[in-house]
Structure 1
Amino acid sequence: MAETPFAITEPPAQTGQEKLEAGTPLPNYDVSTDQSTTSRIWGHMLEDVRPSGFVEFELVLLTFFTGIQDAISFPDFHCFASNQTGNTVFLLVALVLPWLDGDQFYVPNIGAALGFFLLGGWVTGQVSHIVGPRMRLWLWCCNLIQSALVFVAAALQFKYGVVPQGGQAVMVVGLLAFASGSQVVQSRSMKMTEISTAMATAAWVDLIIDPKLFHVRNRPRTRRIMFLLALAGGSLLGAGVYRTVGSAAAILISAAGKFVVAIMYLFNSADRPKKTDAGDNC
Structure 2
Amino acid sequence: MASQTPNNLSETSTRCSSQENLESLKSHNNDIETGVRTSPSSSSDSSLTIFSSLSRHFSAELSTRGSDIILLLCWFTTGFLDSTIFQAYRTFVSMQTGNTVFIGLGASANTVNTPTLTQVRPYGWLKSLVSLIAFVTGSFIFARIGNVLGGPNRRLTFTFSFATQTLCIFLSAVLVQTGIVESRLEYIGEDIDWMHLIPIILLSFQAPAQTACGRAMGLWEVPTVVVTTMIYDFASDKKVFAGLRENASRNRRFAGYCCLVVGAILGGFVTVHTRHIAVSLWVSMGIKACVTLAWMVWPAKKAGRGEGGGC
Question: Which TM-score applies when normalising by structure 1?
Answer: 0.84
Q: Which moved more, 1:33-42 or 1:12-21?
A: 12-21
Give the one of 270, 279, 282 matched to 1:249.
279
Bigger-Rg structure (1/2): 2
Q: Percent identity?
A: 22
Give the one of 46, 50, 70 matched to 1:37.
50
Could you say what the CA RMSD is over the residues aligned between the two structures, in angstroms? Answer: 3.1
Give the one of 77, 83, 93 matched to 1:81.
93
Residues 87 and 268 of structure 2 are in contact (CA less than 8 Å); yes or no, is this contact kept in structure 1? no
Give the one of 291, 297, 309 matched to 1:261.
291
Give the one of 150, 174, 186 matched to 2:169.
150
| Distance of 1:17 and 1:143 partners within structure 2 | 59
2:138 equivalent to 1:120 = yes
Residues 106 and 124 of structure 2 are in contact (CA less than 8 Å); yes or no, is this contact kept in structure 1? no
**Between Structure 1 and Structure 2, how many residues are aligned?**
272
Q: Displacement of 1:210 after TM fit?
A: 1.4
Q: Displacement of 1:128 after TM fit?
A: 2.7
Residues 105 and 118 of structure 2 are in contact (CA less than 8 Å); yes or no, is this contact kept in structure 1? no
Higher helix proportion: 2
| Aligned-partner residue type, residue 269 of structure 2 | G
Q: Displacement of 1:23 after TM fit?
A: 9.1
- Partner in structure 2 of residue 278 of structure 1: none
Give the one of 65, 78, 81 matched to 2:77.
65
Q: Displacement of 1:183 after TM fit?
A: 2.2
SS at match of 1:234: helix
2:28 equivalent to 1:19 = yes
Q: Deviations over 1:192-221 (max 9, x none)?
A: 122211221112111122111121111001
Aligned pairs for 1:44-63 (under 5 A) are: 44-53=57-66, 55-63=67-75
Q: Displacement of 1:36 after TM fit?
A: 2.9
Distance 1:23 1:150, change over 3 A: closer
| Distance of 1:144 and 1:231 partners within structure 2 | 22
Q: Deviations over 1:120-177 (max 9, x none)?
A: 0111112334442111112111111111111111111112231463221111111110
| Distance of 2:98 and 2:25 partners within structure 1 | 79
- Partner in structure 1 of residue 118 of structure 2: 101
Aligned pairs for 1:200-219 (under 5 A) are: 200-216=227-243, 217-219=246-248
Question: Which TM-score applies when normalising by structure 2?
Answer: 0.77
Distance 1:21 1:243, change over 3 A: same
Residues 143 and 259 of structure 1 are in contact (CA less than 8 Å); yes or no, is this contact kept in structure 2? yes
| Distance of 1:80 and 1:22 partners within structure 2 | 70
Q: Displacement of 1:242 after TM fit?
A: 0.7
Q: Deviations over 1:12-40 (max 9, x none)?
A: 79997651337998599755454333312
SS at match of 1:134: coil
- Partner in structure 1 of residue 212 of structure 2: 185
- Structure 2 residue ranges without an equivalent (≥5): 1-9, 111-115, 306-311
